[in-house]
Amino acid sequence: MNNMNIKVPFVDLKLQHQPIQTQLQQAIQTVIEQGDFILGQALKDFETAFAAASGAEYGVGVASGTDAIALGLQACDISPGDEVILPANTFVATLIGVIRAGAKPIFVDCDPQTALIDLEAAARAVTPQTKAIIPVHLYGQMVSPRQLLDFSQTYKVLIFEDAAQAHLAEREGYRAGSVGTAAAFSFYPSKNLGAFGDGGILITRDSEVAQKMIRLRNYGAAQKYIHIESGTNSRLDTMQAAVLHQKLPYLPQWNRDRFNAAQKYDMELAPLASSGITPIQNHSTEGHIYHLYVIRVDHSCVVQRQQLQEELTAVGIQTGIHYPIPCHLQPAFTHLGYHVGDFPNAEMLANQILSLPMYPGLSHSQVKEVVDAIASSLHTEQQKLLLI
Ligand SMILES: *Cc1c(COP(=O)(O)O)cnc(C)c1O
């Protein structure tokens, strides 16, 4: 399908960039003039600002969200032999981060309504080797901080937040990234705060974790040419940091925009619940920042998920599936020994979920257009059934 036929795109980044284009260009120009492309001043400024906005003390910019997880776990002293609990229904990068840190990933199932990690299942998965739990604040909704802190105290495991989809999300008085020992964020362009390329950050309140992270991203160097551990090269470019810092003040409004669009979706979709179309539930009320707006197409629905997705595409509405295969069933990770049926909720969601268009600037009339198109698919199919 060419661009001309897209009526409601899945995301539209131009809408956020056009109004602040001059200021973004100026920020990039300043970095060019200063020439401090690696570990420059704009990076330090952004690290401080982003950590403060998220309720943490230190920020360490890295090349991607995946590196923020992999190096961040190492910075928290997660090492080979340690077990790390994570939800089966996350983006594969959470898993890759655990494996790169050398730890053993232990999957657990999720809540079928919220798609967030099931902490009761996590409690059953704890062993003497368990060192950490990674709550993934999936789709922009935080896992309950109170329940996480209880869990951490009861089982003596550290919390490492995967906040890659949750920039400035809130719940129970906590910001995403301020609950655990450390938290990883991604600045992939379509994330709620996105760079003009790849980027990520680790934030923490623990100065030792921050210091270790600063070394790990810079070849393990404590100071120039003195390498006290084996690190890597993973720094957030000064230029990307300059762009991100310009965008940061707009993030609360962009998140509110997403929230308002989500409320409109909730309202418009409500009548379709009896037909088997239900949104993933929001238990964090106004703190949900809706990185994605996800519905479930239940097996009882007259149209199946794939058919609905195809019919929406045909009328110019772009959708996505986040994610179609849970981590424990990914071909690269069969050696971990998991099988179909191990995590019924994660597997059910993988088969039923559909992400609808969601971005700041998505209008209420576009939301209505999307829901009308869904209703029309259901109606057409119901009519066909009546004729048989
Ligand atoms: C995007 C994402 C990541 C990885 O971030 P990258 O910057 O793409 O490496 C990790 N976890 C989750 C939940 C994500 O959505």
Summarize pLDDT for 343-364 with one digit per residue, the tens: 999 999 999 999 999 999 999 9
Measure 321 CA to ligand 1 centroid, in angstroms: 15
DSSP secondary structure code for residue 217 in this structure: T
- Looking at per-residue pLDDT, the higher value among 132 and 385 belongs to 132
Q: Pocket around ligand 1: residues whose beta carbon is below 6 Å from it?
A: 64-66, 90-91, 93-94, 136, 162, 164-165, 186, 188, 198, 200
Sign of the four-CA dihedral 331, 334, 336, 340: positive
- Counting atoms of ligand 1 from 1, which one is nearest the CA of 64? 7
- Counting atoms of ligand 1 from 1, which one is nearest the CA of 90? 13
- Counting atoms of ligand 1 from 1, which one is nearest the CA of 67? 9
- Looking at per-residue pLDDT, the higher value among 53 and 1 belongs to 53
Q: Using pLDDT thresholds of 50, 70 and 90, give the confidence band for residue 137.
A: very high
Average pLDDT over residues 3-32: 94
Amino acid 285: pLDDT: 85
Which residue spans within the chain are E strands per DSSP? 58-62, 83-87, 104-108, 130-133, 158-162, 170-171, 174-175, 182-186, 200-204, 221-223, 226-227, 277-279, 293-297, 353-356
Measure 224 CA to ligand 1 centroid, in angstroms: 30
- Counting atoms of ligand 1 from 1, which one is nearest the CA of 198? 7
Amino acid 146: pLDDT: 98
Q: Residues of the chain with pLDDT > 90: what percent?
A: 95
Lowest mean pLDDT among 42-51, 151-160, 280-289: 280-289
CATH fold for the domain made of 13-109+116-250:
Aspartate Aminotransferase; domain 2 (3.40.640)
Q: Where exactly are the structural domains of the chain? A: 13-109+116-250, 251-387
Asked whether the beta carbons of 372 and 379 are under 8 A apart, the reply is no
Instruction: Return the number of other C-beta atoms located less than 10 Å from residue 263's C-beta.
Output: 15
Amino acid 387: pLDDT: 82
Mean residue pLDDT across the chain: 97
Question: Which residue out of 188, 289, 327 has the highest number of ligand 1 atoms within 8 Å of its CB and is therefore the one to mutate?
Answer: 188
Measure 167 CA to ligand 1 centroid, in angstroms: 12
Nearest to 9 by CA among 388, 360, 384: 360
Measure 214 CA to ligand 1 centroid, in angstroms: 20
The answer to whether residue 251 scores a pLDDT higher than 70 is yes
Q: Using pLDDT thresholds of 50, 70 and 90, give the confidence band for residue 3.
A: low
Q: Which residues contact 44 (CB under 8 A, 6 or more apart)?
A: none
Measure 378 CA to ligand 1 centroid, in angstroms: 34
Measure 186 CA to ligand 1 centroid, in angstroms: 5
Q: Which residues contact 272 (CB under 8 A, 6 or more apart)?
A: 371, 374, 375, 378
Measure 184 CA to ligand 1 centroid, in angstroms: 9
Q: Using pLDDT thresholds of 50, 70 and 90, give the confidence band for residue 99.
A: very high
The answer to whether residue 81 scores a pLDDT higher than 90 is yes
- Counting atoms of ligand 1 from 1, which one is nearest the CA of 165? 15
The answer to whether residue 231 scores a pLDDT higher than 70 is yes
Amino acid 167: pLDDT: 98
Q: Using pLDDT thresholds of 50, 70 and 90, give the confidence band for residue 4.
A: low
Amino acid 222: pLDDT: 87
Q: Residues of the chain with pLDDT > 70: what percent?
A: 99
User: Cα Rg for the chain, rounded, in angstroms?
Assistant: 21
251-387 has CATH 3.90.1150.10 classification = yes
The answer to whether residue 47 scores a pLDDT higher than 60 is yes
Amino acid 386: pLDDT: 87
Tell me how far apart the alpha carbons of residues 61 and 67 are, in angstroms, rounded to a whole number.
10
Nearest CA to ligand 1 atom 10: 93
Question: Which residue out of 66, 141, 321 has the highest number of ligand 1 atoms within 8 Å of its CB and is therefore the one to mutate?
Answer: 66
- Counting atoms of ligand 1 from 1, which one is nearest the CA of 199? 7
Q: Using pLDDT thresholds of 50, 70 and 90, give the confidence band for residue 2.
A: low
Nearest CA to ligand 1 atom 14: 164
Asked whether the beta carbons of 110 and 90 are under 8 A apart, the reply is no
Q: pLDDT of 64-77, one tens digit each?
A: 999 999 999 999 99
Phi-psi region of 82 (alpha: psi -120 to 50; beta: other; left: phi over 0): beta
Chain length of the chain: 388
Nearest CA to ligand 1 atom 7: 65
DSSP secondary structure code for residue 146 in this structure: H
- Counting atoms of ligand 1 from 1, which one is nearest the CA of 291? 15
Measure 327 CA to ligand 1 centroid, in angstroms: 13
Amino acid 332: pLDDT: 97
Q: Which one-letter amino acid corresponds to residue 107?
A: F
Question: Which residue out of 96, 165, 198, 217 has the highest number of ligand 1 atoms within 8 Å of its CB and is therefore the one to mutate?
Answer: 165
Give 247-250's long-range contacts (Cβ < 8 A, gap of 24+): 247/16, 247/20, 247/24, 247/193, 247/194, 248/46, 248/49, 248/50, 248/53, 248/193, 250/16, 250/20
Tell me how far apart the alpha carbons of residues 166 and 144 are, in angstroms, rounded to a whole number.
13
Amino acid 388: pLDDT: 72
The answer to whether residue 294 scores a pLDDT higher than 90 is yes
The answer to whether residue 159 scores a pLDDT higher than 70 is yes
- C-alpha distances (whole Å) from 121 to each of 143, 156, 266, 284, 362 are 14, 16, 29, 21, 37
Asked whether the beta carbons of 133 and 86 are under 8 A apart, the reply is yes
